[in-house]
Every structure is written in C-alpha cells, then in structure tokens.
Structure 1
Amino acid sequence: MHIHPLITDTATLTALCERLAQSPFVAVDTEFMRENTYWPELCLVQIADTNEAAAIDPLAPDIDLTPLLDLLVDNEDVLKVVHAGGQDLEIVHNLTQRTPHPLFDTQIAAMALGMGEQVGYSNLVESMTGVKLDKGARFTDWSRRPLDKRQIDYAIGDVTHLVKIFPRMLEKLRKTGRGAWLDDEMERIADPANYVNDPDLAWQRIKVSSRKADVLGRLKAIAAFREREARRKNLPRGRLVKDETLADIAAHPPRSQSDLAKVRGLAASWAGNEIGARLMGALEGATPLTDAELPSRDDRRPGLGKDGALVADLLKLLLKVRSKEADVAPRLIARTDEIDALAAGQRDGLQILQGWRYDVFGKDACALIEGRLAFSVRGGKMVMNEIS
C-alpha cells in the first residue's frame, strides 16, 4: 500500500478523492480536539483504500475539504468504513448537515460476531490481525503544528488496519449469515437526526433531583440559553456555566440580575453584563413543563410502574440467555428503551418484534410476557421451558 505524505493542498486532495471514488470502500478516521471549543475542532482526516492511504490536514491554509466531503456524503457507490464512528460522523454533520453514507461500523459488526458490545479498536486489530498497536500518540495535541512523523504514522495506521479488517469481518458475516442483521443498525447510526443537537432538549442531560414542573421548566429554559450561548461563543458548555450551577439557579432562581453575583459558579460580572441579562431573560420567559414533558419518578425505568419494571428485568434476563446462545452482543438485539416499551404493553413499531430480532428474542419475549415461557435451573444452568 502506498502511503502519501501529509496532504495540505486542494489539488492533491482532489486527485486523491478522484482515485478513491473508484474503490468499492474506503476506511475513514478523524483526529480532533474539543477541550476548548463547543464544536469539535477537526485536526486531521485519515482515509485509505486497498491501494493507498493518506492523512489530510484540514488546518492547512491552502486546502478546501469539499472534494473529501463530497466523497463521504454524496458518493453512494463507495462504502465508508469506520470504527465506533459516532464522533467522526458528528464532525462531518457539523460541516455538511449530512452524514457519510453508505456506512459500515466495525464496532457494530463486532457485536454481531460475538466480540462484545464496545470492543476497542486496538483489541479488534489485535484479535483479527495479531498486530499490537502503539498507543503512545493517542493523547497527542492534534491541533499543534507541525505534526511529526510518529503522529502521522500513528494516525494513518488507524485506517490501514481498518482496510485489512473490514474484508475479514465481511467474510465472517457472510459465513454466519448475519450480514443482513446489521443493515438497519448501520442505517440508524447514519441518520443525520442523531447528530442534531436541539437546545430545547439540553436540560435532559443535566442531573437534578427535583421533579417539580416549575423547576424543570426553568432548567429547560436556561439549559437552552447556555446551549445557544456556547455555540455562539464556541465554548464548551461547562466552561460557560457548569451543570450544577444551572441546576442550582433552576431550583433557587435569583430575583434580579444583581443577585447573580451571589450564585456560586458564576463570575460576579454576570450581575451587570449582557450575558447575565440574557440569562435573566431566559428565566423570566420560562414556563412549567407540561405533564407530557415531566420525567417519571422512577429514573431507572421511565414510564414503567413497579410491576412493569419487574417484567423488564425478566426480559433482560431472557435477553442475556438468548444473546449468549446466539453468540451476539445483547445491545445489537435489543435496546433498553425497547425492552421497557415491550414490558409496558407496546407492540407496534418495535424492532425486537421484527425480522431476525423477532426470531432470536422477540418471539420468546412475547411468550414470557404472556405466561407461555418460564425460567428454570437444571444442572446449575438456566434453561427456558414452554408452558402448555
């Protein structure tokens, strides 16, 4: 495989992308920094096919990434291979409002091959190729220039190994007949809706003990305020206002802007500056959450009563049994929210009641709920018994 020098100009990038566009698949990875910004700062892109590999410098002054982005999001003839590609897809979405497609994520494929739910890249490479990766450059500052040869070699290695791994995984999936199992999962992670960050939902990520509609209404308003301010200033959310400070303000709202000087976690300047005024405006415009918006008091099982939670626990036990028998990661078969929905009585629109998931788990899950299936222990092992 030919390894190119670091690409820093548009003409070289364009020629590379024209060649890669003739390949059936390309492996893609990114290096980025997000410690000091709201938006992740793209610092390096690595890409390879079976013939050549390159690292691309998006911080170079004479480069336009359009040819690369066109290859990733517009070219439907080239499969894009990633490993645990959520953050890579987020970066591409931030730049284009679209995501790479079609997509193959080797971490998800590993779940179908019984290799675990979140197998790391180094472990995957070692298990499939016997190569032990050098992790020394993992925590480098990718935004600093110039990048040295060790950094670039380390980064390109992520895609050159991926190019070797992907065909082997594909062959195993074909032999086991599980390739089709991954189609809907790959489409799900490629959905651009996954990477749209709605400010009005930001409050749901903040831990708060109160379940009062007025408190949570204020939290919703000021969390959305923080999200928009952080975007505008391109600062990390927590650098602007920490979660615990937002929760404290929502629970004990200041009566006036001057009272912001007394809020722990806010600079005293907020008592008189424009951002403090905007915070007060968000508080004044807050309305209590509606009943539909209020979270369940049972955080562990949203929307489930005590009996429903017990049913969900039994379904998860069944999932462990069936996933072990099928040698596939449980999370690929069923997500927690779907199990909870099934336990709560929902039947329509659930993936676990469709296709291969129904055959592996959903059919028995329904039988368990309906009293046609029971657990028992024989010889120290758990088994399932049909009840006539």
Structure 2
Amino acid sequence: MQIHPLITDSATLASLCERLSTAPFVAVDTEFMRENSYWPDLCLLQISDGKEAAAIDPKAPGLDMKPLLDLMVNNENVLKVFHAGGQDIEIIYNLTGTTPHPLFDTQIASMALSQGEQIGYSNLVDSWLGIQLDKGARFTDWARRPLDKRQIDYAIGDVTHLAEIFPMMLEELRKTGRGVWLDQEMERLADPSNYTVDPQQAWRRVRLSSRKADVLGRLKAITAWREHEARDKNLPRGRIVKDETLGDLATHPPRTQDDLAKVRGLSASWKSNDIGARLMNAIQNARPLDREEMPERDASRPGLGKEGTLVADLLKLLLKIRAREINVASRLLARSDDLELLAAGVRNGLPILEGWRYDQFGRDALDLVEGRMAFAVKDGKLLMTRAEKEA
C-alpha cells in the first residue's frame, strides 16, 4: 500500500480525492480535540482505499477541504467505512450540514459476527489481523503543530488496518447471509437528526426527578440558554453551567440576579455581569411546560405495572438465550425499550416484529407474551419450548 506524506496543500489533496472518487470504498478516521470546546476541533483526517493511504492536515494554511468533503457527502458511489464512527460523522456533519453516505461501521457489523456489542478498534485489529497496536500516541495533543512522524504513522495505521479488515468482514457477512441485518443500523447511523442539537430539546438530556410543569419549563428555558452560550463561546456545556446546577436553578429559582452569587456552582461575579443577566432573563421568562411535552412517568417502562415488568424481564432472558444460540450481539436483535413496549401490549411499529428481526427473535418473543412459548430446563440448560395447543 502506498503511504503518502502528510497532505498540507490543496493540489495534492484534490488529486488524491480524484483518484479515490472511483474506489469502491474508503476507510476514514479522524483525530480531534473537544475537551475545551463546544465544537469538536478537527486536527487530522485519515483516508485509505486499500491501495493508498494519507493523512490530511485541515489546519494547514490555505488548504481547500472541499474535494475531500464532496467525496464524503456527495459521492454516492463510494462507501465510507468507519469504526465506531459517530464522532467522526458528527465532525463531517458540522462541516457540511449533512452526513457521509453510504456508510459502513465495522463496530456495528461486529455485532452480527459474534464479536460483542462495542468492540474497540484495537481488539478488532487484533482479532482480524493478529496485530497488537501501539497505543502510545492515542492521547496526544493533535492540535499542536508540527506533528511528528510517530503521530502521523499512528493515525494512518487506523485506516490502513481498517481498509484491510473491511473486505474480510464483508466476505464473512456474505457467507453468513447477515449483511442485510445491518442495513437499518447503518441508515440509522447516517441519519442527520442524530447530529443536530435543538436547544429547545436539550433539557431532555438533563436528569431531574421533578414532574412539575413550572420546574420543567424553567429547566427547558435555562438549558436552551446554556446551549446558546456554549455555542457562542465555543466552550463545553459543563464549562458554562453543570447539569446539577441547572437542576438546582430550575427547582429553586433565584429571585434576583444578586441571588446568583448564592447558587452553588456559579461564580459570584454572575450577580453583576452580562452572562448572569442573560441567565436571569431566561429564568424569569420561562413558561410552564406544555402538557404534550411532559415526559411519561416512566418512559423506559411505559404502562407496564408489576406483571408487565416481569414479562419484560422474561423477554430479556429470551433475548439472551436467542442471541447466544445464533451467536450475535443481543443489542443488534432488540433494544430494551422495544421489549418493554411489547410487554406493555404494543404490536405496531416495533422493529422486532418486522423483517429479519421477526424471523430471528420477534416471532418467539410474541409467542412468549401471548402464551405459546415457555421456559424449560433440560440437562441443566435453560431452553425455550412450545406450549401445547389447547384442544
């Protein structure tokens, strides 16, 4: 495989992208920093089609990234291969407003090939290639320039190995007939809505036990305020205000800006500065949460009750048994929320009652909740048996 020197000029990058535009696939990885910023800071992007590989320096002065970004989001003929690519895809989404497509994630594919639910990249390389990766450069400061040869070699290795593994993994999926199992998961990963943060919905990510409409309305208002402040200043959300402090402000709102100095987690200077004034404005103008926005009392176990909870637990046990039988990660077969919905009586719109998931698991799950299947122990092993039909 041809390994190029670090690409820092537009002509070399454009030439590389022109060659890669006819490849069947490209393996992609990024190195970025986000510990001190709201937006991830792209520091390096690595790419390989299995024949050549390169690292691109997006911080190089005057570098035109458009050919590379066009390859990522506008070329439907080239499959983009990632490993645990959520954050890589987020970066591309932030730069272009859309996601790479079509795409393939080897971590997700590993679930269909009995390699666990979240296999790390090092373990993936070891299991497929028998190579022990040097992790020494993993926690380097990728924003600092110049990058040394060890850093660049480490970064390019991520895509050269990935480009070698992907065809092997694809062949195994073809042999097992499980490639179709992954289509829905890959489309879900490529959905741009996964990477869009709506400030008006950000409150749902903050844990708060209260179900009072006025408290949740304040939480919604001040969480949206924090989102805007973090974006404008390009700072991590927690650097503005931590979640637990948002909860305290929503539950026990200060009456005046001076009272902000008494709130644990806020600087005393907020009693008189502009950011404190904007926070007070958000608190004072908050409205009680509308009824249709109110969360379910127990959204994760909707309407189950005690008996329904037991049924959901039995479904989870069935899931473990079936995942073991067909040697696949249980999370690929079914999610806990879907099992709980099935136990609660929902039958429409559940992924486990459609397509390959129904054939592999959903049919038995439905039979269990409707009394046509039962658990049994034989030779010390837990098995599933069909209940005898009524006369």
Give 3-state SS (helix, strand or coil) of 1:31's partner.
strand
Q: For residue 129 of structure 1, what is the aligned residue in structure 2?
A: 129
- For 1:214 and 1:362, locate their aligned partners in 2 and report how far apart those are by CA, in whole Å: 41
Spell out, residue by residue over 1:63-90, the C-alpha distance to the aligned partner (whole angstroms, 9 max, x if none).
0211100000000000000000000000
- For 2:305 and 2:55, locate their aligned partners in 1 and report how far apart those are by CA, in whole Å: 53
Q: For residue 284 of structure 2, what is the aligned residue in structure 1?
A: 284
Q: For residue 140 of structure 1, what is the aligned residue in structure 2?
A: 140
Spell out, residue by residue over 1:199-233, the C-alpha distance to the aligned partner (whole angstroms, 9 max, x if none).
12211222223232221221111111101110111
Q: Which moved more, 1:207-216 or 1:346-355?
A: 207-216
Q: For residue 27 of structure 2, what is the aligned residue in structure 1?
A: 27
Q: For residue 42 of structure 2, what is the aligned residue in structure 1?
A: 42
Spell out, residue by residue over 1:253-306, the C-alpha distance to the aligned partner (whole angstroms, 9 max, x if none).
000111111111111221122221111111122222234433344475355433
Q: Which moved more, 1:38-47 or 1:327-336?
A: 327-336
- For 1:253 and 1:192, locate their aligned partners in 2 and report how far apart those are by CA, in whole Å: 35
TM-score, normalised to structure 2's length? 0.97
CA RMSD, Structure 1 to Structure 2 (Å): 1.2
Q: For residue 273 of structure 1, what is the aligned residue in structure 2?
A: 273
Task: State the Cα distance separating 1:313 from its structure 2 match.
Answer: 1.2
Q: For residue 70 of structure 1, what is the aligned residue in structure 2?
A: 70
- For 2:241 and 2:64, locate their aligned partners in 1 and report how far apart those are by CA, in whole Å: 35
Q: Which moved more, 1:145-154 or 1:212-221?
A: 212-221
Spell out, residue by residue over 1:334-353, the C-alpha distance to the aligned partner (whole angstroms, 9 max, x if none).
11222222222221121111
Closer, same or farther: CA 280–304 of 1 in aligned 2, 3 Å: farther
The count of aligned residue pairs is: 388
Q: For residue 112 of structure 1, what is the aligned residue in structure 2?
A: 112
Task: State the Cα distance separating 1:60 from its structure 2 match.
Answer: 0.8
Q: For residue 340 of structure 2, what is the aligned residue in structure 1?
A: 340
- For 2:347 and 2:369, locate their aligned partners in 1 and report how far apart those are by CA, in whole Å: 12
Task: State the Cα distance separating 1:194 from its structure 2 match.
Answer: 0.8
Q: For residue 2 of structure 2, what is the aligned residue in structure 1?
A: 2
Q: Which moved more, 1:210-219 or 1:101-110?
A: 210-219
Matched, 1:79 2:93: no
- For 2:96 and 2:310, locate their aligned partners in 1 and report how far apart those are by CA, in whole Å: 44
- For 1:63 and 1:218, locate their aligned partners in 2 and report how far apart those are by CA, in whole Å: 45
Spell out, residue by residue over 1:38-81, the C-alpha distance to the aligned partner (whole angstroms, 9 max, x if none).
00000000000121000000111120211100000000000000
Give 3-state SS (helix, strand or coil) of 1:235's partner.
coil
Q: For residue 193 of structure 1, what is the aligned residue in structure 2?
A: 193
Query: Does structure 2 retain, via aligned residues, the 8 Å contact 1:318–1:365?
Result: yes
- For 1:306 and 1:270, locate their aligned partners in 2 and report how far apart those are by CA, in whole Å: 48
Which structure 1 segments of 5+ residues have no match? none
Spell out, residue by residue over 1:87-125, the C-alpha distance to the aligned partner (whole angstroms, 9 max, x if none).
000000111110000001000110000110000010010
The AA in structure 2 aligned to 1:141 is D
Q: For residue 172 of structure 2, what is the aligned residue in structure 1?
A: 172
Q: For residue 161 of structure 2, what is the aligned residue in structure 1?
A: 161
Give 3-state SS (helix, strand or coil) of 1:265's partner.
coil
Q: For residue 203 of structure 2, what is the aligned residue in structure 1?
A: 203
The AA in structure 1 aligned to 2:177 is G
The 5-angstrom pairing of residues 244-283 of structure 1 reads: 244-283=244-283
Task: State the Cα distance separating 1:318 from its structure 2 match.
Answer: 0.8
Q: Which moved more, 1:168-177 or 1:206-215?
A: 206-215
Task: State the Cα distance separating 1:311 from its structure 2 match.
Answer: 1.8
- For 1:309 and 1:10, locate their aligned partners in 2 and report how far apart those are by CA, in whole Å: 59
The AA in structure 2 aligned to 1:285 is N
- For 1:85 and 1:79, locate their aligned partners in 2 and report how far apart those are by CA, in whole Å: 13
Q: For residue 380 of structure 2, what is the aligned residue in structure 1?
A: 380
Closer, same or farther: CA 89–303 of 1 in aligned 2, 3 Å: farther
- For 1:167 and 1:286, locate their aligned partners in 2 and report how far apart those are by CA, in whole Å: 54
Q: For residue 150 of structure 1, what is the aligned residue in structure 2?
A: 150
Query: Does structure 2 retain, via aligned residues, the 8 Å contact 1:221–1:282?
Result: yes
Query: Does structure 1 retain, via aligned residues, the 8 Å contact 2:302–2:344?
Result: no
Give 3-state SS (helix, strand or coil) of 2:14's partner.
helix
Which structure 2 segments of 5+ residues have no match? none
Matched, 1:229 2:217: no
Structure 1 runs (4+) greater than 4 angstroms displaced: none
Query: Does structure 2 retain, via aligned residues, the 8 Å contact 1:298–1:304?
Result: no
Query: Does structure 2 retain, via aligned residues, the 8 Å contact 1:53–1:160?
Result: yes
Q: For residue 89 of structure 2, what is the aligned residue in structure 1?
A: 89
Query: Does structure 2 retain, via aligned residues, the 8 Å contact 1:112–1:332?
Result: yes
Spell out, residue by residue over 1:155-208, the C-alpha distance to the aligned partner (whole angstroms, 9 max, x if none).
000000001100000010000010111111111101111111111221122222
